[in-house]
Amino acid sequence: MTALKTMFFMLLVPGLLLVLLPCALIGADVALFSFGVFHWLAVPFWSTGAAMLIWCAWAFTVRGKGTPSPTDPPKELVVDGLYHIVRNPIYVGALLFLLGYVFWYPTLSILVMPVLFAVGSHLFILFYEEPHLRKIFGSRYKAYCQAVPRWMPRRSRMD
pLDDT single digits (tens) 59-93:
999 999 999 998 898 999 999 999 999 999 999 99
157 occurs within a structural domain: no
109 occurs within a structural domain: yes
Q: Stretch 47-66: mean pLDDT, rounded?
A: 96
Q: Give CA–CA dist 42/88, Å, rounded.
A: 22
The domain tally of the chain equals 1
Q: What is the pTM of this model?
A: 0.91
121 occurs within a structural domain: yes
Task: Give the structural domain span for 38.
Answer: 2-147
Q: Which amino acid is at 154?
A: R
Question: Under 8 Å CB-to-CB from 68, ≥6 apart: which residues?
Answer: 6, 9, 10, 13, 56, 57, 60, 90
156 occurs within a structural domain: no
Q: Give CA–CA dist 89/53, Å, rounded.
A: 8
pLDDT digits (tens, 9 = 90+) for 138-157: 999 999 999 999 999 886 54
Question: Maximum CA pair distance of the chain?
Answer: 50
3-state SS class at 77: coil
Q: Stretch 116-120: mean pLDDT, rounded?
A: 97
Report pLDDT for 28.
87
153 occurs within a structural domain: no
Q: Give CA–CA dist 83/56, Å, rounded.
A: 8
